[in-house]
Amino acid sequence: MTTIRYTKDHEYIRVEGDTGLVGITDYAQAQLGDIVFVELPKVGKRLKRGDEAAVVESVKAASEVMAPVSGDVVAVNDALEGTPGLVNADAAGEGWFLELRLTDTTELDGLMDEAAYRAFVASLD
């Protein structure tokens, strides 16, 4: 079963089993504008919740992508190095940044589900 959770910084984690794909939400990519560069972590890097996991640069700004939960990086989306615009085209799909093997699944409880995230984004307008 797939579970998707969101942070107030507009990252998502799509969890299946003990791993999760991390990326930025469609709202975040729209706010950033055209993405021109993505810096990904090295496979094997251990991240704690709130650590900088990646960097995304757009024509407007550079932003850190924070780890929504603690875990070890088991894969990165190498396609983003040559085609960073995948984040704009499909943020929640092909535009994922990294895959984490979760070290503490209880951290997911502190994140928003889709309904709560939608309400949060609506409150920003």
Mean pLDDT (10-residue bins), the chain, 125 residues: 93 96 97 96 98 96 96 98 96 97 96 97 92
Beta strands in 1-125 (DSSP E): 2-6, 11-16, 19-24, 35-39, 46-47, 52-58, 62-66, 71-76, 98-102
What is the structure's pLDDT at 85?
96
Query: Considering its fold, how many domains does the chain have in total?
Result: 1
Dmax over CA atoms of the chain, in Å, equals 38
| Residue 88 belongs to domain with CATH number | 2.40.50.100
Q: State residue 2's pLDDT score.
A: 83
Range of the domain at 70: 2-124
- pLDDT for the residue 100: 98
